[in-house]
């Protein structure tokens, strides 16, 4: 019996496998955390780019804005969101911010028109809806928060975009709630003579 115990004590077969069994969970956890953080960072980048691209493309429409142009702008956003699962889990709000043409105590900004793309109804415009500020100074400071308010000069417009996405993790562990990613962007329109939106093709409005 003593010889058997002595033999087992000197036997190192399977030692590497035992050490791997202890280390594997830690190693795999680190790999998965790294992949999740990389995916989260990529999601932030893509949502930020979507907000900027939608605002920029909407501002580039120079001949006059039409519902068809809005469809094209959001189609570009859908291409950028490929593989992200943005449409069922996010929403883009595109607002045309303009001066309300009033003076005195009623002077301010107004959302002349507003369109949305994305299926998440839990995401709503953060600063106002279409028609807000038209006859009063409710949007006197424009759109935005934290001192970064955006305003439009008279006789022009600003395309203001809110892009919000409920992050979809690679692995659902239940240890934390997936974050909500949100970015805003704004671009002045370039050379547009008429900022009122038309609907020459009778398309369904992508209202909010």
- The answer to whether the CB of 189 falls within 8 A of the CB of 59 is yes
pLDDT at residue 113, as a whole number:
96
State yes or no: pLDDT of 12 exceeds 60.
no
More confident residue, 5 or 139: 139
pLDDT at residue 74, as a whole number:
96
Paired tokens of 13: 């077969």
pLDDT at residue 10, as a whole number:
58
- d(CA 129, CA 172) in angstroms, rounded, equals 35
pLDDT at residue 13, as a whole number:
57
pLDDT at residue 166, as a whole number:
95
Measured on CA atoms in the order 63, 68, 71, 75, is the torsion positive or negative? negative
CA distances from 150 to 34, 46, 96 (A): 37, 23, 11
pLDDT at residue 6, as a whole number:
59
Tokens 């979809």 -> residue: 168
| Mean pLDDT (whole number) for 65-78 | 94
pLDDT at residue 181, as a whole number:
96
**Plot region of 147 (φ>0 → left; ψ -120 to 50 → alpha; else → beta):** left
List beta partners, residue 118. Answer: none
| Mean pLDDT (whole number) for 162-187 | 88
**Closest by CA position to 77, among listed 34, 116, 44:** 116
- The answer to whether the CB of 189 falls within 8 A of the CB of 57 is no
**pTM: predicted TM-score of the whole model, two decimal places:** 0.84
Measured on CA atoms in the order 42, 48, 51, 57, is the torsion positive or negative? negative
Q: What is the DSSP string of 91-134?
A: EEEEEEEEE----GGG--EEEEEEEEESS-TT---SS--TTTTS
- The answer to whether the CB of 126 falls within 8 A of the CB of 144 is no
Calculate what percentage of the chain has a pLDDT beyond 90. 61
């Amino acid at each position: 019996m003593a010889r058997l115990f002595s033999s087992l004590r000197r036997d190192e077969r399977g030692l590497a496998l035992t050490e791997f069994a202890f280390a594997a969970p830690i190693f795999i956890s680190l790999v998965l955390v790294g992949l999740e953080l990389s995916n989260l960072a990529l999601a932030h980048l893509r949502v930020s780019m979507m907000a900027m691209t939608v605002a920029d493309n909407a501002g580039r429409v120079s001949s006059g804005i039409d519902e068809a142009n809005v469809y094209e702008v959001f189609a570009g956003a859908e291409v950028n969101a490929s593989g992200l699962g943005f449409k069922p889990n996010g929403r883009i709000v595109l607002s045309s911010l303009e001066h309300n043409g009033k003076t005195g105590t009623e002077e301010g900004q107004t959302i002349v028109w507003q369109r949305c793309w994305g299926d998440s109804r839990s995401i709503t415009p953060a600063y106002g809806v279409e028609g807000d500020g038209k006859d009063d100074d409710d949007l006197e400071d424009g759109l935005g928060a934290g001192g970064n308010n955006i305003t439009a000069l008279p006789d022009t417009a600003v395309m203001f975009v809110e892009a919000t996405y409920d992050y979809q993790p690679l692995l659902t562990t239940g240890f934390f709630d997936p974050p909500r990613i949100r970015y805003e962007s704004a671009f002045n329109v370039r050379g547009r003579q008429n900022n009122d939106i038309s609907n020459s093709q009778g398309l369904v409005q992508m209202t909010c």
